[in-house]
Amino acid sequence: MKRIMSVLLSIVLVLSLAACAQTNAPAPTAAPATTPADTTAPAATDAPETSAAPAVLSGTVSTDGSTSMEKVIGALSEAFMEANSKVTVTYNPTGSGTGIQAVQEGRCDIGLSSRALKDEEKASGLQETVLAYDGIAIIVNPANPVEDLTLEQIADIYTGKITNWSELGGSDSEIVLIGREAGSGTRSGFEEIVEVKDLCQYRQELSSTGDVIATVAQNPGAIGYASLASVKDTVKAVKVGGVAPSEETVKDGTYAIQRPFVLVTKEGVTLSETAQAFFDYAVSKDANAVIVAAGVVPAN
């Protein structure tokens, strides 16, 4: 009997140990599920897409040419540099002819001319873009009583047919003819419009608009011509055919002596990103207010 009880106890003990082993065994870990290749799922290493930051303009834009365009190109340059702090726009006041040549020779980005390009200049690969229109004022000393001249009288003055102010209702004094140097856009525009090309009897031929104004201001008998945008109260701009030079009369075409202000570039030559941005701004409607404030009429 004792033997039977011993056997039974041994069986119970074995069963208990087996049950404990089953309870304490760690649960099997399931293998990670594999997904068939999914081309739409982004790779774990893919970075999110970002928008490129806008390019910041920097560098220098060089302009060269017409002294008559000093005021308008200065205003445009100032506005552009204010909006683009890392850009410098330079201006070399050498005269229209020299500015055109500078573009041709690659010595500047943009040439400035106060006359239209000649056929031979266009044939050489130069391109013109009209920026604005400017009146050429006929200026005399403020002490001169003459207020109005016809185109014919102006032509007679500059060709030496009229030599005394008394012939025009002024004082009995010699007329002193002041003009610009050969190659000047202002001179070219004046002589072509008045039809006195190569016929003028100049007493002095000066190299800048400022010099013409200063000389006429100092001489009671002098007469000269200058960009309307540059005229100061040190001289008097006379009427031409009864029409005073002004932004309004240039715009409506009633003032007879006017010419274009031109930006000159070279065909086949790509401007730098910064120079192109300045060019695009200057000829856009966004620049019109600046151009008007400079005293000339926007072409756009």
User: pLDDT tens, 8-43?
Assistant: 445 444 444 444 444 444 444 444 444 444 444 444
**How confident is the model over 132-169, as pLDDT tens digits?**
999 999 999 999 999 999 999 999 999 999 999 999 99
For residues 248 and 10, which has the higher predicted lDDT (pLDDT)?
248
Helix residue spans in the chain (DSSP H)? 2-24, 70-83, 96-104, 119-123, 151-158, 185-194, 209-218, 247-251, 273-282, 288-293
Beta pairing partners, 140: 223, 236
**How confident is the model over 184-206, as pLDDT tens digits?**
999 999 999 999 999 999 999 99
Q: Which of 148, 146, 164 is nearest to 156 (CA)?
A: 164
Return the pLDDT at 3.
52
Angle value at C-alpha 133, between 91 and 266, nearest 5 degrees:
50
Q: Which of 113, 288, 258 is nearest to 183 (CA)?
A: 113
Q: Which of 212, 215, 227, 262 is nearest to 134 (CA)?
A: 227
**How confident is the model over 64-121, as pLDDT tens digits?**
999 999 999 999 999 999 999 999 999 999 999 999 999 999 999 999 999 999 999 9
What gap in Å lies between CA 14 and CA 292, rounded to an integer?
109
- Portion of the chain with pLDDT greater than 70, in percent: 82
For residues 53 and 187, which has the higher predicted lDDT (pLDDT)?
187
**How confident is the model over 274-290, as pLDDT tens digits?**
999 999 999 999 999 99
Q: Which residue has the tokens 């000389």?
A: 215
Domains of the chain: 59-133+259-298 (3.40.190.10), 135-258 (3.40.190.10)
What gap in Å lies between CA 60 and CA 272, rounded to an integer?
9
Return the pLDDT at 152.
98
Q: Work out the end-to-end distance of the chain between its first and last CA atoms, rounded to an integer number of angstroms.
A: 125
